[in-house]
Each structure stands twice: as C-alpha cells, then as structure tokens.
Amino acid sequence: MLASLEEVGLNARSVAAVLVTHAHNDHIGAAEHLRAAYDGPVLMHQDEVPHARRDFLDQVTVGQVLAQAWRPGVLPWAVHALRAGGTTHVPDCEPQAFPAPGALDLPGAPVPVHTPGHTKGHCA
C-alpha cells in the first residue's frame, strides 16, 4: 500500500480513513492494521458493520466452493484464496457506519453508493 501511495505523491500520513466496500476477508483483512497504524476510522455502510464485527458471516463456505470446483477457474481461485489465508480470523477493525448519506468529509469527497447484492451492505 505504501508504494501505491508514493506513486501518487502521498505517504502514510495522508491516510484519513479506510473505506470498505464490503466485509469479506479479502476486503477487510488489513483494515485493523491500517486503522491502528494511521489512526483513522474504518468506514462502511451501516448494514455492513455487523458483518465486519462478525455478528454474522455473509461469506462462502469451503463446502460451497468445493461444490463448484468443476467450474472453470474455481479450483485455482480456491487454492489461491486458501494459500492467501482466506479462512483465517480477521481482527476486529472497529468498523463505523458512514456518518451520513452523500459525500464524506474526506479528501476527494467520496460518495458511497449502496449497492446491495454481493453482501447486504455492499457499497461502491
């Protein structure tokens, strides 16, 4: 991530918040590290906060993946996901809901758009 920031002329101190599209492991795995390291909030749609806290899981199970292993691309993806730690516990990132609809008071004024489907609280 630091290299990506440097590519656009920024550094770690430029991180004001972590915006999360949804709370699958591959999208929040580093959120706690970023929150703690850069002292910024982890923000997401209100419907996704309980998922991030692991009050419930809205994620595919190993059994569901194996049942689809015959489909092209599923098995290589599954092996990659497992090797990358896809079944490991993700630490609590102290998720917070977006404070209000519309533009966020952050650099660039991003506007989260609720796009449920992939998960209940998915945002673009």
Tens digit of pLDDT for each residue in 45-73? 999 999 999 998 888 888 888 899 899 99
Supply the pTM of this predicted model: 0.82
- pLDDT at position 85: 76
Domain tally, the chain: 1
Sign of CA dihedral 118, 112, 94, 85: positive
Flag whether 117 is in a domain: no
Flag whether 82 is in a domain: yes
C-alpha atoms less than 13 angstroms from C-alpha of 32 in its C-beta half-sphere: 12
Flag whether 105 is in a domain: no
Q: Is the model's pLDDT at 2 over the cut of 80?
A: no
